[in-house]
């Protein structure tokens, strides 16, 4: 088993979820069961899948959960871009949270790539 708390991907994803909740509080109230809920669920899915994958004993299972987390990160990227285009957030705030989502996706992609293609030991 792996300690998810030591992973930078988990730390970033955990902080990201908190920021998503704060950010989506500004969305229109009629979106509470729509885009707000969808973004929050997808964002929570990212660290949740990192945690669940870390608890798995086999590397293929671990990778599968990291891939699901990555997919959720990309999903949130799109949803935040939609929220920006719908003007649910001030432009600068929207760009900041979208950039954060992209950063989470990038670090997950790097982690997945590193596990799939480990560097040879010297």
Domain range summary for the chain, segments of one domain joined by +: 4-116
**Residues sharing a CB contact under 8 Å with residue 108, sequence separation 6 or more, in sequence order:** 9, 13, 46, 50, 66, 69, 70, 73
Spatial separation of the C-alpha atoms in residues 65 and 94, rounded to whole Å: 28
What is residue 55's predicted lDDT score, i.e. its pLDDT? 96
Tell me which CATH code domain 4-116 carries. 1.20.1440.60
Residue with tokens 């030591």: 6
pLDDT at 6 over 90: yes
Per-residue confidence at 119, pLDDT binned at 50, 70, 90? Answer: confident
pLDDT digit string (tens) for 38-89?
999 999 999 999 999 999 999 999 999 999 999 999 999 999 999 999 999 9
């Amino acid at each position: 088993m792996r300690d998810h708390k030591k992973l930078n991907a988990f730390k970033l994803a955990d902080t990201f979820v908190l920021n998503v909740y704060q950010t989506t509080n500004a969305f229109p109230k009629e979106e509470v069961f729509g885009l707000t809920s969808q973004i929050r669920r997808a964002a929570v899915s990212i660290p949740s899948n990192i945690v669940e994958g870390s608890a798995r004993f086999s590397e293929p299972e671990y990778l599968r959960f990291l891939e699901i987390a990555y997919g959720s990160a990309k999903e949130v990227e799109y949803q935040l871009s939609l929220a920006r285009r719908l003007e649910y957030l001030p432009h600068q705030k929207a760009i900041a949270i979208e950039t954060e989502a992209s950063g989470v996706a990038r670090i997950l992609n790097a982690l997945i790539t590193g596990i799939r293609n480990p560097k040879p030991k010297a």
